[in-house]
Amino acid sequence: MEDKVSQVVRASAPSVIREMFQRAAALEGVISLGIGDPDFHTPEAICRAALADALKGHTHYASSQGDPELLAELAAHLNRLHGFGVEPSQLLITSGGMGGLAACMRALLDPGDEVILPEPYFPDYEAHVAFAGGRLALVPTRAEQGFVPQPAAVAAALSDRSKVLLITSPNNPTGAVIPLAVLEELARLAVERDLVVISDEVYARLTYDGPCHSIRNLPGMAERTVVIGSFSKAFAMTGWRLGWAVCPPWFTPHLLNVVTHNTSCASSVSQRAALAALRQPDAVVEAMAEEFSRRCRTAYEILSKAPGVTLSPPRGSFYLFPKIGCIRGPAREFCLELLEKERVVAVPGESFGPSGRGCVRLACTVAEPRLSRALERLARFIGNYAV
């Protein structure tokens, strides 16, 4: 019966991250740097507010666009922190950033339309684009340039079927943050070539060199940019499955159409939790971001001393993406041996795109002293690997 499954779904590769996860579950004493889920629990005040609101009856379908109180609070939050100048009517609450991304692809792509995507990239994009009938046009980036996308390379990837430029800053898996000057060039290109930009900013609060810029704020961009945001990472709320999309006014009804038919609405209880999350002092998020920053710096210091490692200082997200000179073949083999010998989970770089060859992704979602222990094991493993 399996031949009944659609070709597009059959062609979609199973996640390597999950494979590593399953193998690790069978072993003792493993430290996992494999998964992008903050180790902090959701702050208690958020959980209590959600419970209280559930008990008050916030357990029905919400409006498809989102709980009106949350939309108003989110607009104020985004205007204050990111200078977006948006109305609540331009926002849509989605089932995770993931729900927003999938819905955007569905709403924008016709069969054969191209999405220009710098790689290494967050692997789920591939399925979002394929399931919507689109195609990816990948743009390589280089470890030596801190994996920052080069506008000339983006321009070279454009064709007459290019419709969307998808950028991720701060980036998963590389941790790169796109500098303002590069965003300006990308914005000029988007205007010139009439592209819609999807700017995945789910890690926007986790930056380590000052705030990161949004391409949406550049000239001519508010009308052609959809920003994807999420409560998952910054607020330690991955399991609540809540994100948002900031839309140009022409796009909101169409995205709403897709979201309505896909999910009716995002979870109403989670939306009450999100409202409480936005109302807590900024210091709560800042403390978590500071902890990730400390961990990424520690990891950087340990790894940059390991032989043959190319690694830029951490800029944002909680990932590091070292290029490891002694990995000659697939990093999958390196990671499997690392798991078996040193009991550390890392994700093979090639699973994020060809420019990830020779790299591994490390998520600093583990607290000290286990984080340093894992990195010392990794550094030792690198030292012995080529021998």
Binding site for ligand PMP (CB under 6 A): 36, 96-98, 122, 168, 172, 200, 202, 230, 232, 238, 243
The residue among 67 and 200 lying less far from ligand PMP, judged by its C-beta, is 200
Give how far Cα 260 sits from Cα of 90, 94, 133, 264, 265, Å: 15, 10, 20, 4, 6
The residue among 168 and 351 lying less far from ligand PMP, judged by its C-beta, is 168
The residue among 238 and 260 lying less far from ligand PMP, judged by its C-beta, is 238
The residue among 272 and 342 lying less far from ligand PMP, judged by its C-beta, is 272
Give how far Cα 184 sits from Cα of 166, 190, 215, 219, Å: 15, 10, 7, 9
The encoded tokens of residue 94 equal 């989605």
Question: Minimum distance between the CB of residue 8 and ligand PMP, rounded to whole angstroms?
Answer: 21
DSSP code at position 346? -
Residue with tokens 């807590």: 280
The residue among 237 and 276 lying less far from ligand PMP, judged by its C-beta, is 237
SS (H, E, C) 32-57: ECCCCCCCCCCCHHHHHHHHHHHHCC
Question: Minimum distance between the CB of residue 18 and ligand PMP, rounded to whole angstroms?
Answer: 13
* Number of CB atoms found within 10 A of residue 60's CB: 7
Question: Minimum distance between the CB of residue 87 and ligand PMP, rounded to whole angstroms?
Answer: 23
Question: Minimum distance between the CB of residue 55 and ligand PMP, rounded to whole angstroms?
Answer: 26
The residue among 176 and 382 lying less far from ligand PMP, judged by its C-beta, is 176
**Which residue has the closest beta carbon to ligand PMP?**
96
Question: Any idea of the CA torsion for 266, 33, 179, 99, to the nearest 10 degrees?
Answer: -20
Question: Minimum distance between the CB of residue 200 and ligand PMP, rounded to whole angstroms?
Answer: 5
Question: Using CA atoms, how far apart are residues 224 and 142, in angstroms rounded to an integer?
Answer: 27
Strand-pairing partners, residue 363, are 319
Question: Minimum distance between the CB of residue 168 and ligand PMP, rounded to whole angstroms?
Answer: 5
